[in-house]
Every structure is written in structure tokens, then in C-alpha cells.
Amino acid sequence: MLKWQTPDGLKPTDRSDRVCTILSQFANAVDLDCEKAIALAFGIGFGVFFVILVVIFIIVKRRYVSHSYFRSNVPLAFKKNRISFS
């Protein structure tokens, strides 16, 4: 008979037996089930992707708005304080 040397005499839980293929370590690190770990990973991935897109949009917008060529070719109807909807 095998006797575990833990204070309560039960089998130690060194690591979980979760098998989530590539996300097993992530699921163990955040202590979630495989399905929840996958959902969290997708959420983080889409969040990072969205932030990257916003940063790229801001950089491109600043680059094109700062040129005087763009400002001089805007129709008079859309310039500041001269918006007309007719």
C-alpha cells in the first residue's frame, strides 16, 4: 500500500490533469476549465487585435490630416464652422 507523505495523507495535487492541447499550461496557470481558458484566450486575442487596429488608425489619421494638401482640398462645405446639409 502506498502512503502519501502529505499532512492529510492524500495524494498531492502538484498539477492539474487538464489536457487542452496547446492551452493546457494557460488553463492551469489561470486555474480555469479548458473551455473557459479557450474563451479567455480568444477574448484577449481579439482585444489585442482591436487595440492594434485603433493605434494604426490613429497613426494613419494623424499622418494624413497633418499634411496641408489634405486640408486645402477639403470642400468648403465641410470646413470648420461651415457645415451645410443642403
pLDDT tens sequence across 12-53: 776 666 677 888 888 888 888 889 999 999 999 999 999 999
pLDDT of residue 86: 55
Q: Is residue 5 part of a domain?
A: no
How many folded domains does the chain comprise?
1
DSSP for residue 7 = T
Q: Are 27 and 39 in contact (CB under 8 A)?
A: no
CB neighbours of 82 closer than 8 A, spacing ≥ 6? 76
How far, in Å, CA of 19 to CA of 38, rounded?
12
Cβ-based neighbour number of residue 26 at 10 Å: 17
Q: Is residue 58 part of a domain?
A: yes
**Structural domain boundaries enclosing 60:** 21-78
Q: Residue range 59-71: average pLDDT?
A: 70
pLDDT of residue 44: 97
